[in-house]
Amino acid sequence: MRNSKLAEHNPGRKIFSSKIATTIVWLITLVWTVPTLGLFVTSFKSDKKILNEAWWVSLFNPDFSLDNYKNVFFGNDTESLGTGILPYFINSIVITLPATIFPIVIATMAAYALAWIRFRGSDFLFFSIFALQVVPLQMALIPLLLLFTGGAHIGSIPIFPALGIAGDFAGIWLPHTMFALPIAIYLLHNFIASLPRELMEAAHVDGANHFKVFRMIVLPLAIPGIAAISIFQFLWVWNDLLVALTFASGTEEVAPINSKLASLVGQYGSGYTQLSAGAFITIAVPLIVFFSLQRYFVRGLLAGSVKS
């Protein structure tokens, strides 16, 4: 109320503040976009042109070629690119989609159960899951890898069998799912718990069980939150290299695209045009995913922050 009264007495203050905020946002956006624009322009130029002129000169005198993308994506033996990044690109898709879908599905069901199905120890279970976020990812990688490859034993008594999934896609999906569940359950729990209680009680009065309430009411209303968390999980898995290399066990058949980018530079760092093309291919997919789901992004982040 006080701010609105001040704005009424001084209407120029609101306009001035709005213009300043807009200008700052545009400046930050411009500065943030310049490196990406430089990477994009460089990816269309040859080594000689990059050495002879700055990348921004090409904006006024365009002379672009798709040779870098063709060589990087499909390979060029004369430039030691081998088969290109296409197999690794497919591997990243195969890794990222299940590693995004699995934790979101499990976290959504767990969040509903912890928010609306009261049972003994539910609060303790919720806070225990949330507390798992303090476990550093790097500290859990090697124990998990040993668990997957050799199982767990007390003396000669096995208590957990060896799964034998290291070096396979399943061996990468499972760690990503495990690491994503605590934060996903926490965020979705806050979102689902903020849904109107009257709506849930009316559904139960009409004879709907928990599965029907979850499928018919919770899922449609939770789409913004699910989409926002899916964006974060997709970006994290797609850009991940540490988890994939650890649980792929050096197997080229399941290696992600990030593992191939380092080899594109060449022995003496002369292949930066190929690297820029490969890097832009790598960031293109997350950009497509983000802009496709951006209408849910802000709604999903803000949902659940204030209960009605």
Residue 204, pLDDT score: 84
The torsion angle over the Cα atoms of residues 159, 164, 166 and 171, rounded to 10 degrees, is: -80
Helices 272-292, 67-74: inter-axial angle, 10-degree rounding: 80
Tokens of 73: 């994506």
pTM for the full model?
Answer: 0.79
Residues 6+ apart with CB under 8 A from 243: 137, 141, 172, 175, 176, 179
Q: What is the pLDDT of residues 151-172, one digit of tens each?
A: 777 777 778 777 778 778 888 9
> Would you state the pLDDT for residue 6?
46
Q: Beta strand 157-160 with 152-154: parallel, antiparallel or unpaired?
A: antiparallel
Residue 13 confidence (pLDDT): 52
Q: What is the pLDDT of residue 77?
A: 55
* Residue ranges in the chain modelled with pLDDT below 50: 1-4, 6-7, 12, 15-16, 80, 304-308
How far apart CA 208 and CA 216 sit, in angstroms, is: 10
Burial level of 25, CB count in 10 A (0-12/13-18/19+)?
A: exposed
Name the DSSP class of 214.
I
The predicted pLDDT at position 300 comes to 57
Distance CA 49, CA 217 (A): 58
Q: What is the pLDDT of residue 95?
A: 93
N-term to C-term CA, the chain: 21
CB 201 within 8 A of CB 218: no
CATH tag for 68-296 (out of 3.40.50.720, 3.40.50.2300, 1.10.3720.10, 3.30.499.10): 1.10.3720.10
Q: What is the pLDDT of residues 77-112, one digit of tens each?
A: 555 455 678 888 999 999 999 999 999 999 999 999
Alpha-carbon span 153 to 204, nearest angstrom:
47
Where does residue 135 fall: left (phi above 0), alpha (psi -120 to 50 degrees), or beta otherwise?
beta
Q: Report the percentage of the chain scoring pLDDT > 70.
A: 83
**122 with 185: CB under 8 angstroms?**
no
* Domain ranges within the chain, ordered by starting residue: 68-296
